[in-house]
């Protein structure tokens, strides 16, 4: 689950510190002050297996002190997620 771990950690950093610290890395630091008030919250993590979903949610909780809901299954049912959705899929994967 290397890819998933990398994405989860990036979302944890985004939730903890906001987007401003990341903008300088891509040459958009002039937007940092204006975008600083925007808050991010990961509300759910979905993986193929229950074990990996629970592990990812627990890792995220350790990083942020907030535990997202864990979903698992071969096909992602996004009806339970009601805000902005960010998906990290394996190459060739689909929702």
Which one, of 38, 37, 57, 39, lies nearest residue 47 by Cα?
Answer: 57
Query: What are the helix (H) ranges across 1-95?
Result: 2-17, 20-23, 32-35, 50-64
Task: Identify the burial level of 83 via C-beta atoms within 10 angstroms of its C-beta, where 0-12 means exposed, 13-18 middle and 19 or more buried.
Answer: exposed
What is the separation of C-alpha 76 from the centre of its chain, rounded to a whole number of angstroms?
A: 15
Q: What's the pLDDT score for residue 58? A: 93
When mean pLDDT is compared across 38-42, 56-60, 89-93, the lowest value belongs to 89-93
d(CA 48, CA 74): 5
Per-residue model confidence as pLDDT tens digits over 4-43? 677 888 889 999 988 888 888 888 989 899 888 888 888 8
Which pTM value belongs to this model?
0.68
Whether the Cβ atoms of residue 71 and residue 77 lie closer than 8 Å to each other? yes
Decide if pLDDT at 49 tops 90: no
């Amino acid at each position: 689950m290397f890819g998933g771990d990398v994405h989860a950690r990036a979302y944890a950093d985004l939730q903890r510190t906001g987007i401003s610290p990341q903008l300088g890395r891509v040459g958009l630091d002039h937007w940092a002050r204006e975008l600083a008030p925007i808050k991010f919250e990961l509300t759910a993590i979905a993986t193929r297996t229950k074990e990996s979903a629970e592990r990812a949610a627990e890792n995220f909780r350790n990083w942020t002190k907030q535990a997202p809901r864990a979903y698992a299954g071969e096909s992602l049912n996004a009806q339970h997620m009601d805000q902005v959705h960010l998906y990290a899929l394996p190459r060739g994967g689909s929702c």
